[in-house]
Amino acid sequence: MAIAVLLPALSACAGRKDSAPSTPVAPGQIRVVIPKAEPRSASGNPPFYEVRGKRYHVLDDASGYRERGVASWYGKKFHGRQTANGERYDMYAASAAHKTLPLPAYARVTNLENGRSVIVRINDRGPFVANRLIDLSYGAAVELDMIRNGTSFVEVEVVGPRSQRRKQGGRRPAMVPGTLYVQVGAFADRGNATRLRSMLIDADVKNVVIRKDRVNGRRIYRVRIGPVASVEEFDATVERVGELGVSDAYLATE
């Protein structure tokens, strides 16, 4: 029988104040991670688990996973402690914590704000903080140049042993300002999209738009708010629509 378990995840505490090491490192000094085939860890991979009263379901397969959202990082406070899969957290390694990807998994994380990317090995659970997609090690955060801000908009894409690998700290074009939105709904019926937009506007939510797309030959109407210019604005927008009953808002791009 599958049962819910409570994981000893480091990143469950990501909301607390953390810090960089007294001897910092620079981009390019972190050991490059090379994706390889690994069996699922004996620990950290239950069918589902609960943290702070919320249930998370671990994915059976990481293949094809790609998502955009907000990354945070954790460092000195947890250095040397046990991760969810039983290893020791090394803040200087290029690793990460994720709520639902199987452990271990490899992913290319790209900072959408500056185009820098790094491949990380995911061996921990978290971050259990609202609106956060992934918690990066201090070393990975250094490579993405996000230590100062603490958070950044990122894209997380699972990669395998045969994937084309970019050099650690490599770059690709950053997102053009004004192309990040909060998506609050997607409908086949334009009327449903219009009703949601009207409800949000009546509640004094600004910059609500309907975007027409076509998916598998079918017309889809996406309700979005934005653009959002910062993580702080993203957080505030998600919190506001949550108060209005919209619980599945997420980061979207043009």
Predicted pLDDT at 176: 64
Predicted pLDDT at 4: 45
CB within 8 A of 188, min separation 6: which ones?
A: 218, 219, 220, 221
Supply angle C-alpha 248, 134, 147, rounded to 5.
Answer: 125
* Residue-wise burial string across 120-144, b where 16 or more C-beta atoms lie within 10 A, e elsewhere: bbbbbbbbbbebbbbbbbbbbbbbb
Q: What is the rounded distance in angstroms from the CA atom of residue 8 to the CA atom of residue 70?
A: 23
pLDDT tens digits for 101-149? Answer: 999 999 999 999 999 999 999 999 999 988 999 999 999 999 999 999 9
Q: What is the mean pLDDT of residues 185-209?
A: 97
pLDDT tens digits for 86-105? Answer: 999 999 999 999 999 999 99
pLDDT at 14 over 60: no
For residue 8, give the nearest of 89, 120, 86 by alpha carbon. 86
Domain 180-253, CATH number (from 3.30.70.1070, 3.40.50.2300, 2.60.120.10, 3.10.20.30) = 3.30.70.1070
10-158 and 180-253: same fold?
A: no
What are the structural domain ranges in the chain? 10-158, 180-253
Q: What is the rounded distance in angstroms from the CA atom of residue 16 to the CA atom of residue 23?
A: 21
pLDDT tens digits for 164-196? Answer: 455 455 566 666 666 899 999 999 999 999 999
Q: What is the rounded distance in angstroms from the CA atom of residue 32 to the CA atom of residue 75?
A: 18
pLDDT at 15 over 50: no
Predicted pLDDT at 12: 41
Predicted pLDDT at 169: 53
CATH superfamily of domain region 10-158: RlpA-like domain (2.40.40.10)
Q: What is the mean pLDDT of residues 24-28?
A: 84
pLDDT band of residue 245 (cuts 50, 70, 90) is very high
Predicted pLDDT at 179: 86
DSSP 161-206: TTS--PPTT-B-PPPPTT-EEEEEEEESSHHHHHHHHHHHHHTT--
pLDDT band of residue 25 (cuts 50, 70, 90) is confident
Predicted pLDDT at 175: 67
Predicted pLDDT at 254: 72
pLDDT band of residue 27 (cuts 50, 70, 90) is confident
pLDDT tens digits for 147-161? Answer: 999 999 999 999 998
pLDDT at 1 over 80: no
pLDDT tens digits for 36-71? Answer: 999 999 999 999 999 988 999 999 999 999 999 999
pLDDT at 209 over 80: yes
SS3 141: helix
